[in-house]
C-alpha cells in the first residue's frame, strides 16, 4: 500500500477505532488520534477512548497525552499529528488518523492560520463580560463591530 496516511472519520461510537485497529494490525500501522477530547488523559471513559488493552494491541499516538486542565487547539494538535505521522512513517508504520473532530482533520489536510493565543487575561475578560452582560448583549456588540462575523 503506497499512501501517506489513512483517515477514518465519523461520529462517536460508529466503529472508527475498531476499524483503525484492525487496519493497523493488518498493515503495520499506527493509530493517530484525531479527536479533540481523547487527547486528555483523565477523560478515557467519557470520550470512549480505546482501552489500555486496545492501545497496547497496536501502536497508538496522541491519546491521553495532556492533562485535562491544559487547553489544546487545532493548531497545537496539527503540529503533534504531523510529528506522529512523520515518526510512524520513519519506522515503516502506516499512519491511520482516527477521530471525529472535523476542525482537526481540516487543519491537518488544509492547514490553519497562525493566530496567536490571546492569553489568559483576554479569556478572563471575555468570561467576565459574558457573565455581566449575557450572550445576547455580546452578540449585539459583535454585530456593531463586525457584522460579517456576527452573521
pLDDT digits (tens, 9 = 90+) for 47-100: 889 999 999 999 999 999 999 999 899 999 999 999 999 999 999 999 999 999
Percent of the chain with pLDDT over 70: 98
Where residue 132 falls among pLDDT bands split at 50, 70, 90? Answer: very high
Where residue 150 falls among pLDDT bands split at 50, 70, 90? Answer: confident
For residues 83 and 115, what is the distance between their CA atoms, to the nearest angstrom? 20
CB atoms within 10 A of CB 56: 10
Count of residues making up the chain: 151
For the chain, the domains span 6-117, 118-151
Q: Examine the pLDDT at 114 and tell me if it is beyond 90.
A: no
pLDDT value, residue 2: 64
Q: Which three cell numbers stand for residue 82?
A: 504531523
pLDDT value, residue 1: 54
**Residues 6/95, Cβ–Cβ less than 8 Å:** yes
Classified by CATH at the fold level, domain 6-117 comes out as Rossmann fold (3.40.50)
Query: Across all residues in the chain, what is the average pLDDT?
Result: 93
More confident site: 119 or 96: 96
Scan for cell 463580560, then name that residue: 129
The mean pLDDT value for 1-11 works out to 85
The mean pLDDT value for 129-147 works out to 93
The mean pLDDT value for 118-129 works out to 92
pLDDT value, residue 80: 98
pLDDT value, residue 87: 97
Amino acid at each position: 500500500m503506497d499512501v501517506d496516511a489513512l483517515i477514518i472519520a465519523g461520529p462517536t461510537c460508529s466503529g472508527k477505532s475498531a476499524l483503525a485497529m484492525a487496519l493497523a494490525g493488518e498493515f503495520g500501522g499506527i493509530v493517530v488520534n484525531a479527536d479533540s477530547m481523547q487527547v486528555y488523559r483523565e477523560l478515557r471513559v467519557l470520550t470512549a477512548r480505546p482501552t489500555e488493552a486496545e492501545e497496547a494491541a497496536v501502536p497508538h499516538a496522541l491519546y491521553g497525552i495532556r492533562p485535562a486542565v491544559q487547553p489544546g487547539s487545532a493548531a497545537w494538535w496539527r503540529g503533534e499529528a504531523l510529528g506522529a505521522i512523520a515518526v510512524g512513517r520513519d519506522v515503516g508504520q502506516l499512519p491511520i488518523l482516527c477521530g471525529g473532530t472535523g476542525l482537526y482533520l481540516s487543519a491537518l489536510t488544509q492547514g490553519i492560520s497562525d493566530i496567536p493565543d490571546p492569553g489568559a487575561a483576554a479569556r478572563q475578560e471575555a468570561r467576565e463580560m459574558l457573565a455581566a452582560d449575557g450572550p445576547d448583549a455580546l452578540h449585539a456588540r459583535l454585530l456593531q463591530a463586525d457584522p460579517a462575523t456576527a452573521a
